[in-house]
Amino acid sequence: MESIWFIIIITLSFCATIKALINLLQTPKKLPPGPVSIPIITSFQWLRKSFADLEPTLRNLKTKYGPIVTLSIGHRKSIFITTSSLAHQALIQNGAIFADRPPAPATSKIVSSNQHNISGASYGPLWRLLRRNLTMQILHPSKIKSFSPARNWVLNIIKESIKKESNSGQNPVLVVDHFQFGMFCLLVFMCFGEKLDEKKIREVESVQRSFLLGFGKFQILNFFPKFTKIFLKKRWEEFYKLRNDQEKVLIPLIRSRQEQMKKTFEDNEKSLGLCYVDSLLNIELPDEGGRKLTENEIVSLCSEFLNAGTDTTSTALQWVMANLVKYQEIQSKLYDEIKTLDSGDDEIKEEDLKKLPYLKAVILEGLRRHPPGHFVLPHAVTQDIGLDGYVVPKEATVNVMIAEIGWDSKVWEDPMMFKPERFLSEDGILNEELSDVTGNKEVKMIPFGAGRRMCPASGLAMLHLEYFVANLIKEFKWTAKVGDDIDLSEKQEFTIVMKNPLWAHVSPREQDWVFNFFSAGMLAKLVASPVLTLEYATRSSLSIVTPIVQPNIIKGNTWVSISVSRKKWELHSAAQTQIVISGDEEKAMWESCKQALSAFNFNDEEEEKILGKAFGQLHSPYWGEERTKEVPKLETVNAILDCLKSLGLADEDIYKLLKKFPEVLGCNLETELKNNVQILEKVWAIKGKTLRSLLLRNPKVLGYTIDCKGDCAALCTRCWVRF
Ligand code: HEM
């Protein structure tokens, strides 16, 4: 086999060398400089390299040949633009000429249904139609807004799956898996208009990711496909199988949506919210007799949508979080900014993101320092054109080095450092010029490309990054695994990912907050405690690490750690037991209590759960084993609700509070609720609006054993020391 390949390559090289010599004599085009290449052999060598391998070579060639370099890769000349000024000249000043795509290699032709997708289509009417469809039907700001509940749904999926894997902060979490799955949930919903169950979403994720991860492996098939079809038959079969698997998963989803649309139309029902597939089913191609897209073309377009929207975003999310774990001071600064919103809501709303300039700076810095794609997709020119004194010919492929541009030390000070502050003025205002990622005026960083082929979803991608990072930082504190230094080395997959994926300890903030809140005042009490010898302590030197209860570790004159339980109690998280109600009288009492709750807009199931958890009928880690089952009296429930109202909480506040901390209804009104409020007001001077925000943020404060001196070894589940 080896010798046959050798003969083929030598023969082809010989023919190509002759052809190249003839071309050289015929056309006096001055191509940008580059290393000498032996036809076929050099092409073959380059083809076997990934873009990540190419990057360091190109950097060296840039030093030798200047900012624009030619290589012979595959059948075409490849021209690489390495600087921001040339990128601007090409992609912006000569935007229309540089907006074409080269002919697709054999494997891409199959995946893209012969370049009938947005990223592969030539610059012309088909591309315009498909791109306009995506931007108008899905990426228009009003459409993006309509997917806001879906983003909230996905946020909760990510939060819950992280909590589950981390066992409320005790175990380290492989972060990227959660981001990838979350982004698939979201993009699958935007694509097919349905919240599919986990199994189905995993199926879609699996077929799509197999393609992405096989991207490099199948490149070789494009080197004289007629030959590879004979000599690499198995690999071709593997490739076709992947495409078949993809069709098997995506086509039923497309058909199901088509059926639903038909039914909605026939039954004259209210129309379904528009999704990407709906828009594709409606497209007619005017240049092809007004025909509709084929099923295969729709599969290709959905696949493009899913890949473009999931892998890029989850990769960027991982890089940003890795830096926030590595540089704790940046994470703290971001969390401080988030706390200024003080909305009392569980979630940071999308409309509030614009109030967070530091967040935006963190995301921009993530995209500059770690752009998911280090190159734009291959471009081509519609006609020969001069650039920097050379000719870029029509038959060449053109590429732009995104990462290299973002790391240019002439534009960015200390370019390899992660410094979000570089995007802000001294008074914390975002620098408009630096944070412009379109490159329209001037190219400084272009993580989404620039010009006519620039990513059409940059706005959506920024929203996804800001929304998920803000909410995940609000909800959790992210720290490195003990002894882990966070390795920021890169590896090429479809995007440039972390070579060693991020593992992090992710613990609920609530405990962190309570700890900080009480630590200052309680330290005084701790000093007085007979079991402690405290010589020196600062708030920042306290860290929460493991679940072993050991409140008094002192080494030399520095606090090493205070270990606390990482339990965070959720309405839905605990194993449930049966609600036991005996007799008509108890049933009536139970129903009347539910009635009292219905005033706050709970549904029947939520009312059952709240009362069940508050009165020991359903398992709640808050009580542990200590709560006996009880059917409450209406007066007991009403008294607690009245007390909450008297604290200035509106009905919506009480709704949120009870969702977070249903057990409050089962707390003792005098010794717990009122007593704790009194301590908060008198000792901590927390009252009025501040008290309201505190209660919304951390309602469990109403049930804590608040005056514990911390010398009880924290056996009681409600001791502040445990949070
Ligand atoms: C952090 C997230 C993202 C990054 C960094 C990113 C980056 C890019 C880049 C560098 C290009 C190539 C530009 C060029 O060839 O000049 C591109 C193209 C594209 N992106 Fe994105 N992208 C992201 C998210 C998305 C999302 C969420 C979608 C869709 C839902 C999307 C859809 C596309 C499409 C369709 C193209 C092809 C455009 C064309 O050829 O006209 N991208 N993106």
Residue with CA at minimum distance from ligand 1 atom 29: 309
One-letter amino acid at 73 equals: I
Mean pLDDT of the chain: 84
Residue 583's pLDDT band (cuts 50, 70, 90): confident
Quote the pLDDT of residue 534. Answer: 28
The pLDDT confidence band at residue 545, using thresholds 50, 70 and 90, is very low
Q: How far apart are the C-alpha atoms of 308 and 659, rounded to whole Å?
A: 36
Tell how far the Cα of 146 is from the centroid of ligand 1, in angstroms. 21
Would you say 301 and 293 are in contact if contact means Cβ atoms under 8 Å apart?
A: yes
- Residue 616, ligand 1, Cβ within 6 A: no
CB of 614 shorter than 6 A to ligand 1: no
Contact 717, 621 (CB under 8 A): yes
Please check if 455 is assigned to a binding site: yes
Q: Note whether 423 and 360 are within 8 A (CB).
A: yes
> By percentage, how much of the chain surpasses pLDDT 90?
62
- Residue 78: pLDDT band with limits 50, 70, 90: very high
* pLDDT, tens digit, 9 for 90 and up, residues 249-263: 999 999 999 998 888
Best of 369, 455, 464 for a ligand 1 pocket test (most atoms within 8 Å of beta carbon): 455
- Mean predicted confidence (pLDDT) in 434-450: 96
What number does the ligand 1 atom closest to the CA of 377 have?
Answer: 15
Q: Which of 14-18, 127-131, 537-541 has the lowest mean pLDDT?
A: 537-541
Q: Look at ligand 1, atom 32, and give the residue with the nearest C-alpha.
A: 308
What's the 457 CA to ligand 1 centre distance in angstroms? 6
The answer to whether 83 and 405 are in contact (CB under 8 A) is yes
Q: Looking at ligand 1, which atom is closest to the CA of residue 378?
A: 15
pLDDT of residue 532: 32
Beta bridge partners of residue 562, listed in sequence order: 544
Residue closest to 147 by CA, chosen among 329, 285, 286, 309: 309
Checking if the pLDDT of 275 tops 80, the result is yes
313 lines ligand 1 (CB under 6 A): yes
User: Which stretches within 27-118 are classed as H helix?
Assistant: 41-47, 51-65, 84-87, 106-111
Q: Which atom of ligand 1 is nearest to the CA of 315?
A: 1
Q: Which domains does the chain have, with CATH numbers?
A: 125-373+454-508 (1.10.630.10), 513-722 (no CATH)
Buried/exposed code over 350-382 (b: 16+ C-beta within 10 A; e: otherwise): beebeebbbbbbbbbbbbbbbbbbbbbebbbbe
Q: Are 491 and 147 in contact (CB under 8 A)?
A: no
Which residue has the CA at smallest separation from atom 8 of ligand 1? 448
Does any ligand 1 atom lie closer than 6 A to the CB of residue 303?
no
Measured from the CB, is residue 437 less than 6 Å from ligand 1?
Answer: no
Which two three-digit tokens encode residue 523? 């330290």
Residue 356 beta carbon below 6 angstroms from any ligand 1 atom: no
Q: Whose CA is nearest to atom 25 of ligand 1?
A: 309
Residues 391-409 have a mean pLDDT of: 96
Smallest CA separation from ligand 1 atom 41, residue:
453
- 713 pLDDT above the threshold of 50: no
Mean pLDDT of 233-238: 94
Per-residue buried b or exposed e for 212-246, using 16+ beta carbons within 10 Å of the residue's own CB: bebbbebbebbbbeeebeeebeebbeebeebbeeb
pTM of structure: 0.71
- Provide the pLDDT for residue 36: 80
For residues 216 and 54, the answer to whether their CB atoms sit within 8 Å is no
Q: How far is the CA of 252 from the centre of ligand 1 (A)?
A: 26
- Give the atom of ligand 1 at the shortest distance from the alpha carbon of 465: 1
Across residues 708-717, what is the average pLDDT? 44
- Which residue shows structure tokens 């530091």? 358
pLDDT at 704 over 80: no
State the average pLDDT over residues 620-624: 73
* Residue 308 alpha carbon to ligand 1 centre in Å: 6
Distance 305 CA to ligand 1 centre (A): 9
Q: Does the pLDDT value for residue 381 go beyond 60?
A: yes
The pLDDT score that the predictor gives to residue 10 is: 65
ipTM: 0.99
Assign 528 a pLDDT band (cuts: 50, 70, 90).
very low
Asked whether 131 lines ligand 1 (CB < 6 A), one says yes
Give the position, in ligand 1's atom list, of the atom nearest the Cα of 304. 35
Q: Which atom of ligand 1 is nearest to the CA of 462?
A: 1
Ligand 1 site, residue 118, Cβ cutoff 6 A:
yes
pLDDT for residue 6: 60
Confidence (pLDDT) at 658: 93
Nearest ligand 1 atom, CA 127: 41
Mean pLDDT lowest among 10-24, 103-117, 298-312, 392-406: 10-24
Looking at the predicted structure, is the pLDDT value of residue 591 above 50? yes
Give the 3-state secondary structure of residue 582: coil
* pLDDT higher than 60, residue 598: yes
Q: Specify the range with the lowest mean pLDDT, choosing from 423-427, 684-688, 710-714.
A: 710-714
The Å distance, Cα 210 to ligand 1 centre, comes to 20
- Cβ(130) – ligand 1 distance below 6 Å: no
Q: Ligand 1 centre and the CA of 400: distance in Å?
A: 14
Give per-residue pLDDT as tens, 639-662: 999 999 999 999 999 999 999 899
Residue 264: predicted pLDDT: 77
User: What is the pLDDT averaged over residues 148-169?
Assistant: 93
Nearest CA to ligand 1 atom 7: 448
Residues 6+ apart with CB under 8 A from 285: 126, 129, 291, 292, 293
39-53, 282-296, 653-667, 709-723: segment of lowest average pLDDT: 709-723
- Ligand 1 centre distance from Cα of residue 235 (Å): 28
> Would you say 695 and 648 are in contact if contact means Cβ atoms under 8 Å apart?
no
Q: Is pLDDT above 50 for 560?
A: no
